[in-house]
A = this chain, B = another copy of it.
Amino acid sequence: MNRVINDPDRVTEDSLTGVLAAHPDLLVATDHPRVLRSAVRSGEPRVGLVTGGGSGHEPAFLGYVGPGLCDAVAIGEVFASPTAKSFHAAFREADQGRGVACLYGNYAGDNMNVKMAVKLAAKDGIRVETVVANDDCASAPRDQPEHRRGVAGEILMWKAGGARAAEGADLDAVIDAARKTIDNTRSIGIGLSACTIPANGKPNFTIEPGTMEVGIGHHGEHGIAVLPTAPAKEMAGIMLEKILGDLDYTGENVAVLVSGLGATPLMELYVLYGHIDEMLRARNITPSYRLVGNYFTSLEMMGVSLTLTRLDAELDRLLRAPARSIGLSVAG
């Protein structure tokens, strides 16, 4: 495996050492080795925002900690949930006396560990409310939202929730903004190659050359179809058809996030975006907030994900509010 690592079992901690050295203005260490918190804290106590998830999705999750975004993050090993203790420690770091919003993705390990951590925090007198992102519309049928995974739509959820917290809103209002964001968000991915967890040393799934897996998950979870690799324009059509069939975006202003899964050249993400933009406008949907880049990755997987969020005036305001982090900065 030709990669930039030392001991494959220590990639996460080696990476965190570098993150802390590179960004002391954004992130600081805590007493818990798998919890980082924002280096910037406003004078006024605010609702604390926490997220967490496995490593290997960078800049998610730690890359979305900073002013206007999350206050603390719990970090798991590569593609593995953070522990309950990590989430609990992150809640304590984020807490400023007004409660904590834990905004994370729908995976079995995360659900279990967050649930335990919420109970532990309650004993500390910290009220934690959660929103569980389930934006991946390819991961389960529409009538089973509880089985759908959270993917890149989480970024927009953190952005809206973080902005609402920065406005001084109370915990219920922050939770409402985060839930509204994810309820109005759908995502889908297409995988073009597998990826290798360093500690495993070889891919734990396969995508045959010349094929693409539509609806693939962020850890290589099976999608809804394996098709011959199509031109970018057809990929755009396939992804949009699934998303627009799941939620009605007609006549809406939308946020569009095209994220690479790791190895796809940025110029190709723009090729895809060009088609998405054109197809949306042809359907009377206006892409008014646009992100194209490697925002939520899966190690060195080749492929893309598409996320669409319906925007009302509030969500539009929250997405455009100032923020600063490794993964997403919005000028004030």
Question: With a CB–CB cut-off of 8 A, which chain B residues contact A141?
Answer: none
Identical copies in the complex: 2
8 Å CB contact of A300 from B16, B263, B304? B263
Question: Which single residue of chain B is at the shortest CB-CB distance from A12?
Answer: B267
What 1/0 flags go to A1-29 for Cβ under 8 Å of B?
01111110001101111110111000000
A264 to B193, CA, bound (A): 14
Q: A4-B192, A11-B267, A15-B268 are in contact. Are A294 and B294 (CB under 8 A)?
A: yes
Question: With a CB–CB cut-off of 8 A, which chain B residues contact A22?
Answer: 270, 273, 277, 290, 292
Q: Closest approach, in angstroms, between the C-beta of A296 and any C-beta of chain B?
A: 11
Question: With a CB–CB cut-off of 8 A, which chain B residues contact A229?
Answer: 2-3
A272 to B331, CA, bound (A): 29
Q: A18-B273, A290-B22, A331-B329 are in contact. Are A266 and B235 (CB under 8 A)?
A: no
Interface assignment of A56: CB less than 8 Å from any CB of chain B: yes
Interface assignment of A251: CB less than 8 Å from any CB of chain B: no
8 Å CB contact of A19 from B265, B270, B294, B302? B270
**Contacts from A to B (Cβ < 8 Å):** 2-7, 11-12, 14-19, 21-23, 55-56, 58-59, 63, 78, 192-193, 207, 209-212, 229, 231-233, 235, 262-275, 277-278, 287, 290, 292-294, 297, 299-300, 302-304, 324, 326, 329, 331-332
* 21 A-B residue pairs with CB within 8 Å: A2-B192, A2-B193, A2-B209, A2-B210, A2-B212, A3-B268, A4-B235, A4-B268, A4-B272, A4-B303, A7-B231, A11-B267, A14-B270, A15-B271, A17-B270, A22-B290, A56-B265, A58-B267, A59-B266, A78-B267, A262-B263
